[in-house]
A and B are shown apart, each in its own frame.
Chain A
Amino acid sequence: MSTQVVEGIDGTLTTRAARPANVIYEWLTTVDHKKIGLMYIVYALIFLIVAGVEAMLMRIQLAVPNNHFVSPEVFNQLFTMHGTTMIFFVAMPVLFGWGNYLVPLMIGARDMAFPRLNAFSFWVSAFAGLMLYFSYVGASGLYAAGTAPDVGWFAYAPLTAKVFSPGHSTDYWTLSIFLSGIGSIGTALNLATTILCMRCKGMKMSRMPLLVWLYLTMSGLVFVTISPLTAAQVMLTFDRYLGSHFFDTQAGGSAVLWMHFFWIFGHPEVYVLILPSFAFVNEIVPVFSRKAIFGYPAMVAASVGIGFISLSVWAHHMFTVGMDAAANTFFVFATMVISVPTGIKIFNWLATIWGGKVIFATPMMFCVAFLFQFLIAGLTGIMLAVAPFDWQLGNSYFVVAHFHYVIVGGILFALFAAFYYWYPKVTGRMLSETLGKWHFWLFVIGFHLTFDFMHIPGILGMPRRIYTYEASRGWGTLNMIVSIGGAVQAIALLIFVYNLVVSYWKGKEAGHDPWDAWTLEWSTTSPPPDYNFAVLPTVNSRRPLWDLKHPDDPDSDYE
């Protein structure tokens, strides 16, 4: 819909944004969900590079036995910062970024429910990340000034107590996670409210795209998982600064209580991250199979089911701590149960692909790799869910390999698919398919070199967070392979970043709807105007653009 008024508005926007100072001012003060979403994504990509460099430094250190590439102190800081950054300042913001960008477009709204809260949440999270890294220059710790946090990403008590972590490097960790938690809760609140209150006419809950359903579930999970972490950080700060005794074992406090509080956050957090990844796959697989998603109600039920069950599995991180038999049994059982809804989802994706006219564009390739890798990650998850098995391999490199399989093989692959799929909508230009295929194959090879082989030293007894090892252990060759795989992944990642930058200027023009897709974001221009839709859409089925393109055979006849 292009009227004189709309063109007039568009015209003012372009002329005003022309000067660089104005552009910067515009981005700093924006409350537009698309701009905030993009800032989230770019900020996460920057931290992805930073935390990736940290991972590479660790892999160089571990590549050969008896290595002293970095000092043990620096190594402790590296794994702490790598884990904390990847979870809180890469995975969370990039997923919130895509949620911010896509959810209002997909439900036919012009912005989020609370635009200013949206900007606030982003800037709080952004400053939290900066604060964490300021510790490299500003914090003093056990080894004098310039000490980053070195207590591990789950910061077990009593290591975090003032006596064992003097100075304030640990406080940088605590406070930056506290702040990022505030930002996450703010954005989740915003997403949930947007989804419940801003849907366009006709978009009943049962007609929402699955991505929207999954973001709603994810937001609900954020409320009940990030909040406990925030509460625990308050307790830890009280312990360190007011002399309280929550986790002070000398005064009767309990170190195990911290573990419970951390993992009540920590495990559902995995689902906070994987649900949006499922969301991307849910949107991409049907479009590239040229079929509607198989079993929409089952998919919704499974997603919400995963959300609920994930709240009762946290102590499978604590089998090695020594709980009683009843607790062990309960958490083994609950952890096993969660594989049921997850299995339903995998079968539904397969059934969607089954019999479809599959197009192997880059987004679809990443989705197919996701399916395989996420399945394997789930299988090692079931192995680790068995308490006696976990007693043997808990805190070994097997565990490290397992959760990287979930996070890299599952979440990151789905994210790459999302980048290739929605980049044309965001920028108006396609990402290069050639570079995309290079990225995909190099990343698949690097990923499997690293994380398939990482399981084996774990089985051979290599503990996680170990600084170095003796040659006689026989872990040397395997670790070298793991490190080489890391380098291959790094090269693939650089190709991806290069592709993102170059395609912005050189990419093929995308038009409204390059993939012939069915959800509302493809009905507006690429990139969408500030107001998203000149006239708010009305929908009559789950695939409104299918109805538009096939008025003789609309979906609403079958739903």
Chain B
Amino acid sequence: MRDADAIPIESPLDPPWTLPYRGTVGMACLIVAESAIFIIFVVAYIFYIGKSLSGPTPAEVLELPIFGTVCLLSSSITVHFAVSALRKGAISACTAWVAGTVLLGSIFLATTAREWYHLIHDEGLTIKTNLFGTTYYSLVGLHATHVVVGLLMLALVVVFGLLGHVREEHSEKLEALSLYWHFVDAVWVVVFTVVYVLGR
């Protein structure tokens, strides 16, 4: 009678016992932790606005990355459609939407790469130059690193989709991945506001 299954329970009429999906909760926890990391970098950026001892300043060299931003934010919508498609069992539609997300994310990365090339090659701004360079490259670079990680995982989904390994029951997993991607987009909104609007 000492066994756990012998513990008496009162009413068998209780509602069915359901708990949230662990992938979603785990991803939410990761997002909280990652947010704290980004907050520290954003705080450092804001703290050092206008404190550089030498040029170039943000106003001189930064331009609004409108095109890249539009691409990245649109990719949030495409990944959302991918999840809805998978929930309905439309595997090839899902793969296509994820592929579209990868494409849009890659375009964003390419615009960042061009911007960095311009800043390093034409303007001579590196991470060593001044406090603006230090905080700019580390904050934008941290975000870009997260974009790269997201793109690798999404690309893996595309590969699996093309090989026919993606099935309807994976929709929760894809949803957890899409949460990460939405987070990366949301962070970009903050970075955009801080770096290109407030900091300029």
- A contact set with B: CB distance below 8 Å: 1, 108, 113-114, 185, 188-190, 192-194, 196-199, 201-202, 219-220, 222-228, 230-232, 234-235, 238, 242-246, 251-254, 257, 261, 264, 512-513, 520, 523-524, 533-540, 544-545, 547-548, 551, 554, 556
Q: Which residues of B contact A254 (CB under 8 A)?
A: 47-48
Question: What chain B residues lie within 8 Å of A224 (beta carbons)?
Answer: 32-33, 36
The docked-state distance in angstroms from the alpha carbon of A225 to that of B20 is: 25
* A524 in contact with B127 given A189-B30, A196-B19, A227-B33 (CB within 8 Å): no
A244 B10 Cβ-Cβ under 8 A: no
Q: Whole-angstrom distance between the alpha carbons of A556 and B14 in the complex?
A: 14
Cα A108 to Cα B3 with chains together (Å): 12
The reply to whether A242 and B3 form a contact with Cβ atoms under 8 Å apart is no
How many residue pairs bridge A and B at CB < 8 Å? 153
Min CB distance, B142 to chain A, in Å?
A: 8
Among A228, A245, A534, A539, contact of B37 (Cβ-Cβ < 8 Å): A228
B121 at interface (Cβ–Cβ under 8 A)? no
> How far does the alpha carbon of A141 sit from the alpha carbon of B1 in the complex, in Å?
64
Known: A227-B33, A227-B36, A261-B40. A242 touches B128 (CB 8 A): yes
Q: Are A257 and B7 in contact, CB atoms less than 8 angstroms apart?
A: no
Render B7-19 as a binary contact track against A, CB cut-off 8 A, 1 for contact. Answer: 1111000100101
**Is B26 touching A523 in the complex (CB atoms < 8 A)?**
no
Interchain CA distance A219-B48 in the complex, whole Å: 31
Q: Which of B9, B20, B21, B142 is within 8 Å of A202, CB to CB?
A: B9
Closest residue of B by beta carbon distance from A533: B4
Contact of B44 among A227, A246, A533 (CB under 8 A): A246
Interface contact B33-A185, CB-CB below 8 Å: yes
Is the C-beta of B120 less than 8 angstroms from some C-beta in chain A?
A: no
Q: How far is B86's CA from A503's CA once the two chains are assembled, in angstroms? A: 56
Task: Determine the chain B residues whose CB is within 8 A of the CB of A244 once the complex forms.
Answer: 127-128, 133-134, 137-138
Q: Does B113 contact A (CB under 8 A)?
A: no
Across the interface, do A535 and B131 meet the contact criterion of CB distance under 8 Å?
no
Closest chain B CB from A161 CB (angstroms): 13
**Assembly CA distance A199 to B19 (angstroms):** 8
10 additional contacts (CB under 8 A) given A189-B30, A253-B131, A547-B7: A197-B22, A219-B29, A223-B32, A231-B36, A243-B127, A252-B53, A523-B7, A535-B3, A538-B5, A544-B4
Query: Which residues on A sit within 8 Å (CB–CB) of B127?
Result: 238, 242-244
